Amino acid sequence: MSNFGFQGSDEDPDKKKDQSGGEGSGGNPGGFGFGTEGFDPAALGQMLTQFGQMLSGMGAPGAGGSAAGPVNYDLAKQLARQQIGDFTPVGKGKADAVSEAAHLAELWLDGATTLPAGASKTSAWTPVDWLENTIDTWKRLCDPVAEQISGMWTAGLPAEAQQMAGPMMGMLTQMGGMAFGSQLGQALGQLSKEVLTSTDIGIPLGPNGVSALLPESITAFTEGLEQPEREVLVFLAAREAAHQRLYSHVPWLRQRVLATVEEYARGIRMDFSAIEEAASGLDPASLTDPSKIEEILQQGAFEPQTTPEQKQALERLETLLALVEGWVETVVSEALGERLPGAVALAETIRRRRASGGPAEQTFATLVGLELRPRKVREAGDLWRRLTTAAGIEGRDGVWAHPDLLPVSSDLDDPAGFVDGVIGGGSSSFDDPIAQLEAMEAQERAAKNKSDETDTDDGDKKDGDAGSTG
């Protein structure tokens, strides 16, 4: 995992590997902070201006305002908006095309899943619309990691160093918030011009019940394909609608994804020995110089360490996202397969886009510190197709009734065993813990009564034998 804070050397081999599209280590390929590649000097100037304002306002009541916290979202939105630049509003023709495609997709999906439509509104977004409508979800995704890292490296400083730093500790925290906000703003600005739908990273980033497509990005995406834009639009509308159905009617699913990200954040650990070493020669006067702070953070002392807890959370998240993606693929394929000639080719294009670490996945890895990559999409799709054949649409969709019914990572490698379990009644209903407890207590009582009866019989037999002998 690379630095959170100010990014280190560009010679990091893991970083180069991730940028080339290969599989990373499951950690953060870019890190929060300021690298020499892809960073806008104007953005740095903007950040330093805000930094000066922050210094001048330190100590004042309520200093920081809405910019206070683990991530400076005011700065993030400002930089993202600058990155977007000029954009073309969605015209009536494009908006009508999105609406018609979504309506057609919903009609076709009705016969492919038992889950009803999940979106009450369909929108055609510009990049700015995407930014404004998804920032709240990005806060939920980024805050846990940013808070954990910010709190750990601050608390990890030796007591003497904290005492020397004094009020400058608050400044360091705000500097961290600006570093996070700067990286977030640049990433979201770029991502807003590349995403195709509101669920492009596998989870719904927009408001509940809103299905959204980005016509400008879809047009650019279609240019590299040999498919009519109308067919591509219907296909993407079907994927968006399928995601919305799943997340709307499986109420625990959205929270489970976000909770897993938070669990990943709780597993972050810092190398305190490196922090102590960095702080051993710390000159309190240097904390007033931003360049000195940057130099300290660049030493890598505040680099999070990958832990077993993080690896477990990452595996659960990858499996869950693979199940979502595989289910969407299966349902969309059944709904469009015979109606849209290019559906198979489009499905493969999207699958490769996700598997190779597209812009959405890379951005999430940079922002949150883990790869939002469903590595077993093909295996998950195969499992859902087998389950549809064996148990029907109702049996397949019934698996989403409770998280305990879902396949685990090992089931994706052995789908036949999972399907056999479902056919045998494994997914008809999930176990009631109260009923289990009552059954266990009944078994214990029965065993105790049997033991008591055995003891009584043995006692009577001994008494009888004693009387006979007498």
Give start and end residues of each alpha helix (H) in 250-289. 251-266, 272-280
Structure tokens at 180: 């996070």
- CB burial of residue 45 (10 Å; 0-12, 13-18, 19+): exposed
For 124, the 3-state DSSP assignment is strand
Using alpha carbons, select from 195, 305, 241 the residue that is nearest to residue 103: 241
DSSP 197: B
**Residue range 228-240: average pLDDT?**
96
* pLDDT attached to residue 279: 55
- 352 sits in which H/E element: helix 343-355
List, as one string, the DSSP characters of 79-101.
HHHHHH-S-PPPPHHHHHHHHHH
Backbone phi, then psi, for 122, in 5-degree steps? -115, 130
Note whether 83 and 185 are within 8 A (CB). yes
* pLDDT attached to residue 16: 37
pTM of the model: 0.72
Structure tokens at 8: 């280190």
pLDDT tens per residue across span 104-142: 999 999 999 999 999 999 999 999 999 999 999 888 888
Instruction: Tell me which of 226 and 358 has the higher pLDDT.
Output: 226
Backbone phi, then psi, for 4, in 5-degree steps? -100, 125
* pLDDT attached to residue 430: 42
* pLDDT attached to residue 124: 97
Buried b / exposed e along 103-115 (16+ C-beta atoms within 10 A): ebbbebbeebbeb
pLDDT-based confidence at residue 50 (cuts at 50, 70, 90): low
Structure tokens at 15: 């970083």
The yes-or-no verdict on residue 43 having pLDDT over 70 is no
Residues 446 and 440: their CA atoms lie apart, in Å, by 10
List, as one string, the DSSP characters of 364-386.
HHHHHSS----TTHHHHHHHHHH
